Amino acid sequence: MSMIQPLSRRRFLQSASALALASTFDRAGAALRAGTTRAYVGTYTGAADNFGNGEGIYTFAMDPGTGELLEGRLAAKTPSPSWIAIHPSKRYLYAVNEENDGSVSAFAIDGASGNLTSLNTVSSGGSQPAYISLDATGRYAFVANYGSGSLAVLPVLPNGTLGGAAELRRDQGSVGSMHATDAPRGNFAISGHDAPHVHMALADPQNRFVLATDLGQDRIYVYRFDRETGKLTENAPATSLPSGDGPRHFAFHPNGRWLYSIQEESSTIAVFDYAAQAGSLRVRQTVSALPPDFAGTNFASEILVSPDGKYLYAAGRLHDTIAVFSIGGDGRLQWTGEVSTRGDYPRNCAIDPTGSFLYSCNQRSDAITSFRIDRPSGRLTFTGQYAAVASPAIIVFLA
């Protein structure tokens, strides 16, 4: 009787991904000597996602000339690090563990090798944490717990470890419609309106206020942030978006005066004037992130503003494209086109520190694709490069 065990789909995909990553080693040494940017990729491991083939956090070296991701390898095993953030000192990395019993893990970064060393893991203060960011001083981490609809503020201790929550706020009250108000024709993007779901939390550019989206409530909350204690105080009534549209992520313009929010279920982008002194939002424009003739279902996922503030990029899952908008002198958006992500289910996109390349984490096709950015026009051109990594959820760069 043969003793060979059948190869599971997951083991096959993990093995294939590992072989593809290893094939870049012979080119990585020269690229690293040339001076590359380190990248870290968080993945779904299967703990909370049916398509989780990853094992944790991977690291790559990015060639600044070609945008190619090299030297891919597993840097740390940790469950479903679906969102990661790097400390302002560049010495530490923090990752949510998107599980029902949510947690956040802290790692020390070896600047020479890119290796990650586990420091500690603490409770996220809720379930299914989906986002983490750090305040400008690096003293506090903001964690959005999607499952429990809560926002936690975790202190960052001097040695890089995380402490227990200094603040925990749970959204209460009514939720929006199951169907988006501004949905395209034939849309069945129904998700998240069964209860409050905090999806993102980020300090404003002045580090005075913390903004948080609640997808289930169709609201953006603004809190006054005490930089000494980490405490949050509700600043004003939350800003409401159309019922069922589902605000997911937002991005500030480099001038700090405009904020762009992408809605997951309606695939719309809302343009806000942001009053930095008051911490208030006023909507000015709403546009679709989809082409005018689109019909069907799409789940909008990510929104980015180019470093020069001239262009905005919006990713969508199922339609699997990245839309490109020009940003006018008054902050308003004008559609200029879209490109295919060359992959399935782009969960996150990011621009490298030089502003030359955009990367798409295609979760369901186990690859990251890259696009060269034409700075005068904002146009994206596929580089032809695929970086194999299982179930990529986010990519961040250590500049």
Query: Residues 332-360: pLDDT tens digits?
Result: 999 999 999 999 999 999 999 999 999 99
What are the angstrom distances between the C-alpha of 223 and each of 141, 233, 279, 327, 345?
14, 5, 8, 27, 32
Report whether pLDDT(21) > 80. Answer: no
Spatial neighbors of 347 by CB under 8 A, at least 6 apart, are 82, 301, 302, 317, 361, 362, 363, 392, 393, 394
**Per-residue confidence (pLDDT) for residue 40, from 0 to 100:** 98
DSSP-based helix, strand, coil % in the chain, nearest 5: 5, 50, 45
Structure tokens at 114: 């890119």
**Per-residue confidence (pLDDT) for residue 324, from 0 to 100:** 98
For 125-143, what is the mean pLDDT? 98
Spatial neighbors of 269 by CB under 8 A, at least 6 apart, are 260, 261, 262, 263, 286, 287, 288, 289, 303, 312, 314, 325, 333
SS3 345: coil
Gap between the Cα atoms of 84 and 333, Å rounded? 29
Q: Confidence band (pLDDT; 50, 70, 90) for 399? A: confident
What are the angstrom distances between the C-alpha of 80 and each of 45, 70, 71, 396?
5, 22, 22, 16
Gap between the Cα atoms of 28 and 72, Å rounded? 9
Q: Confidence band (pLDDT; 50, 70, 90) for 33? A: very low
**Per-residue confidence (pLDDT) for residue 25, from 0 to 100:** 39
Structure tokens at 391: 């179930």
What are the angstrom distances between the C-alpha of 7 and each of 4, 10, 52, 194?
9, 8, 17, 38
DSSP, residue by residue, 305-326: E-TTSSEEEEEEETTTEEEEEE
For 119-147, what is the mean pLDDT? 98
Gap between the Cα atoms of 108 and 117, Å rounded? 5
**Per-residue confidence (pLDDT) for residue 154, from 0 to 100:** 98
Report whether pLDDT(233) > 80. Answer: yes
Gap between the Cα atoms of 102 and 95, Å rounded? 11
Average pLDDT, the chain: 92
Nearest C-alpha neighbor of 263 from the set 288, 297, 292, 296: 288
